[in-house]
Amino acid sequence: MTRINPGGTIGILGGGQLGRMLALAAANLGYRCHIYCPEENSPAFQVADKTTIASYTNDVALTEFARSVDVATYEFENVPAQTADIVSQNTLLRPGARALMVSQDRLTEKQFLADAGVKTAPYQEFHTAEELDAAFKVIGRPSVAKTRRFGYDGKGQQLVKTSKDLAKVLSVTGSTPAILEGFVNFDREISVIVARSASGDVAAYPVGENVHTNHILDVTTVPAQVSDLVEAKAKVIATKVANALEYVGVMGVEMFVNDDKNQIIVNEIAPRVHNSGHWTMDGAATSQFEQHIRAICDLPLGPAEARGAVRMKNLLGDDILDCEQYLADPKASFHHYGKSDPRPGRKMGHVNWVEPAEG
Ligand code: AMP
């Protein structure tokens, strides 16, 4: 295994808030970061040692970037396969290309999860109106149509309650490949942030419970209001997924829970640090960002226990203007992403509240 010691340089594809918080954690451990991002004024550029502004299809710039770093990672799962190829030909890429391939396509992801022995919602793939009709007969109602690729925050999705909704589906999915998924009557949504190091050590954080508003994460609370059995099962599932992928780094595994049955269904996996893991910055001994840097540099993983009861709230758009209120709250830890334009729905920052455990 290749260890990268403090003093080394980490390359990050993507310059958003996740890249920024990764770079801050890396700096704290003594690493330098080189951020590669097509957009000028990216939040991560403000805290990086070196930056490259170039497109993800610029082979020359990608090669130069990869050769300038000891290990490369990414903050988003839609890194094009060709980009990952060029980077991995010129440096270590962690997590590897397989994690990208599996998570970029909902069909591949579901097949991978089934092979790993992990339960997902029932699904059928479709391309045409006829195939959609046939899928609807198998999956039943309600169901959710989702494009196989590039869907996030509810985009590229359509709820199907009756056969009348099928016409709407094709207007959302267009001619792109898609799946029809059974609607899960869950009691709560949870996620597990899990880290696996290059040496194969695994650390799973306590389960977080997530509440979404308008399909965007609003609040994560830890501990989740789930049984001890669900808590343990969820961590086992996340560990299984990380091991099956021979994953290196931190990943988020999103799940639906049925309380009565203690049943867990995996919704999707994200091969990167995850919004529902931001609570770890103040609520755990090791933040998910530091853990990711430790994992990809093959350092020992840090402790993943919670320091107490934690609540994380995303600050979207104008919410960021309330920063004084959070700064005046002695129990709140405020994080600003350095973005200047608070467009509605844009992730501008977050706040963590930690109620320390007694003793
Ligand atoms: P996704 O883009 O797959 O993460 O879906 C976004 C949100 O839509 C999830 O967090 C759920 O709240 C909801 N959702 C997605 N798939 C299903 C499903 N099969 N059944 C019920 N709700 C779902």
Check whether domain 9-93 has CATH 3.40.50.20, yes or no: yes
The topology under which CATH files domain 122-182 is: Dna Ligase; domain 1 (3.30.1490)
- Delimit the domains of the chain by residue range: 9-93, 122-182, 188-356
pLDDT of residue 55: 98
Calpha distance 121→135 (Å, rounded): 14
pTM of the model: 0.96
pLDDT at 151: 77
Most ligand 1 atoms within 8 A of CB, residue of 267, 276, 314 to mutate? 267
Q: Bridge-partner residues for 194, per DSSP?
A: 204, 251
Residue 97 CA to residue 124 CA, distance in Å, equals 26
Distance 74 CA to ligand 1 centre (A): 24
Measured in Å, residue 67 CA sits from the centre of ligand 1 at 39
Report pLDDT for 156.
Answer: 79
Please say whether the dihedral angle defined by the alpha carbons of residues 260, 261, 267 and 269, taken in this order, is positive or negative: positive
Look at residue 359 in the predicted model and tell me its pLDDT.
Answer: 65
pLDDT at 175: 78
8-22 per-position pLDDT tens digit: 999 999 999 999 999
Task: Indicate if ligand 1 lies below 6 Å from the C-beta of 298.
Answer: no
188-356 domain in CATH 3.30.470.20? yes
Looking at residue 301, its pLDDT comes to 98
Is the CB–ligand 1 distance for residue 151 below 6 Å? yes
Q: Is 103 in the pocket of ligand 1 (CB under 6 A)?
A: no
Cis geometry, peptide bond prior to residue 356 (ω within 30 degrees of 0): no
Q: Does ligand 1 have an atom closer than 6 angstroms to the CB of 109?
A: no
Residue 17: per-residue pLDDT: 98
Residue 269 Cβ inside 6 Å of ligand 1? The answer reads no
Q: What is the pLDDT of residues 19-77, one digit of tens each?
A: 999 999 999 999 999 999 999 999 999 999 999 999 999 999 999 999 999 999 999 99
Q: What is the pLDDT of residue 1?
A: 63
pLDDT at 206: 98
Relative to the CA of 106, which ligand 1 atom is closest? 3
Of 256, 260, 274, nearest to 119 (Cα)? 256
Does the beta carbon of 141 sit less than 6 angstroms from any atom of ligand 1? no
> Which residues of the chain register pLDDT less than 70?
1, 359
Beta bridge partners of 285: none
Q: Tell me, using a 6 A CB cutoff, whether residue 121 lines ligand 1.
A: yes
Ligand 1 site-directed mutation target among 103, 105, 144, most atoms within 8 Å of CB: 144
